[in-house]
Chain A
């Protein structure tokens, strides 16, 4: 098991380095000049040149990359935004909680919907619940999150006025005036974004869990458990659920990477100042430090989650552990 973990950590680190290098290379392949963009319109060439020197853009790629790595390792700094000069670390520090709130809350919500629905559908195939569940699934998979988000904002937020239309509230209560904060407000404002995120994935996971549970129910060892005299609920909980969750865990790991991409739409639609929204602003401006910072964070998250998924899988399935 330890060997397994060490190997995963090694590969994780390796991936991390490769991701940053590739980002740098892409940046330099794209024809654009952040110095000009940063300088603004109608500036004298000397000023642009000065900016370029300031931002070290006159140095060759590998030197710029080396500076970046040095900064990161020595000072824990991601550099400064080309656009507004703020430390990238601070910017990320503010935006990560927003994105994380949306993603984590959304995942919990869709698992909370998908697991019971999937299990019940599997236990009662072709029932009304199962069939209506499948229709819900179809809608969820087909409709794009932007559309769902806008519909929800219009109907629930605007027309019915049940929830706020957007904006992010800090989890920690502050007493600043004009700014909402506190866990209640935080969750209240995140309700619609969570639902938007959840609808698409809940559908997929319900179907997946339904299929897995049905398959596990027909396995020989479930028949053995029944033959021992176990009650149906015991069979379900002790024998079926854990085995059917294995595949769900794997897919969850893969999905988290995709989710981070999808969250961009949600942040824009709901006006949440998260990483996605930030990236959408930084990219056309070729704000390299910010872009690299976000890419790094995203890469780190995906790698970490996949790693955790692997560990969880090994814990759930002893065949992996002892192989």
Chain B
């Protein structure tokens, strides 16, 4: 049984302008110790999906439907006190902006200790000891003195390490990382990603890596979900996704990346912009922007169906399979044909 099983999750927000369909039928599984990459742009629903899983969505303004089973337990109908026990203890979360994600008026030590004492009945001394240990684990120098500093006394990269320490301190089974490196410099990002890989090896936790950066996904993930317009539009093992993407949106994403290993003079661009979740398009959400659209796309939502030879690789597209292969083969040739050194 998978550690986290999400089935047909829907999250709709009631706003003054109408109902925003942030998540419309998302299903996936996360196994112990694996890394799931969730890729999408703004409005794809990637963040809201996991906020819903964690129960961090305000049920007064959001309607949530579907099933979220964590280790066999249904979370969507769990009491808030039950959810509080799971959050921060069995599922940890890391957010995007380390500058604002830490309470500016409380010491780092206090915030780490809070994480410990919320879930463990230990003395303050013990909590402090664990806090210092956690800081050492994320490679913060002079942890014994730094534990009494305030967030603004740390740099961005250090703050993100503190966030990671806070998420890991109770040895959770799952870490959900929502764009953890987007706000960081590229060399700091490399450090943080390497740290996360090491910690995963040490602790055996499963990681959900939510990001818009396909490079990060390629580096870390075992499996990938591509989200668009509140739905999963493609799902595959990471090697399969990059070798044989099956859906025009994924082609567009891969093609629109300027890459170090290619010398394309013109990037493939996806016209238009991400869809409105207030009035999503009928049928396939990508149809207004798709170069291969035909009538069925506008009328009927494609199901998330597996590829004929790879049951693990699923995608939402009405295109005929033969057609799909032909198009991708042509694109691939164009992408890799004029190649510099594959560094």
Report which A residues bind B (CB closer than 8 A).
219-221, 223-232, 234, 238-239, 242-243, 316-319, 322
Contact = CB atoms under 8 A, between A and B. Distances in A.
B105 A316 contact: yes
Contact of B105 (A220, A230, A231, A243): A243
Closest 3 CB pairs of A and B: A229-B88, A228-B88, A220-B100
B86 A223 contact: no
Contacts of A232: 80
Contacts of B163: 224
B74 to A, nearest CB: 18
A242 to B, nearest CB: 6
B207 to A, nearest CB: 15
A228 B103 contact: no
Nearest to B54: A227
A228 B95 CA distance: 12
A218 to B, nearest CB: 10
B48 to A, nearest CB: 13
A243 B93 CA distance: 23
Given A226-B56, A227-B56, A319 B100 contact: no
A265 to B, nearest CB: 38
A221 B100 contact: yes
Contact of A228 (B97, B105, B118): B118
Contacts of B100: 219-221
B166 interface: yes
A319 B150 contact: yes
Contacts, number: 76
Contacts of B88: 227-230
Contacts of A238: 106, 114
B101 A230 contact: no
13 contacts: A219-B100, A221-B102, A221-B104, A223-B95, A223-B101, A227-B87, A228-B114, A228-B115, A228-B118, A229-B115, A232-B80, A243-B104, A318-B105
A238 B106 CA distance: 9
A201 to B, nearest CB: 26
B231 interface: no
Given A223-B56, A224-B163, A319-B150, A231 B101 contact: no
Contacts of B103: 221, 224-225, 239, 243
A228 B87 contact: yes
Interface in B259-314: none
Contact of B118 (A229, A239, A243, A318): A229
A229 B56 contact: no
A154 B97 CA distance: 58
Given A220-B97, A223-B95, A228 B150 contact: no
A317 B105 contact: yes
Contacts of B152: 318-319, 322
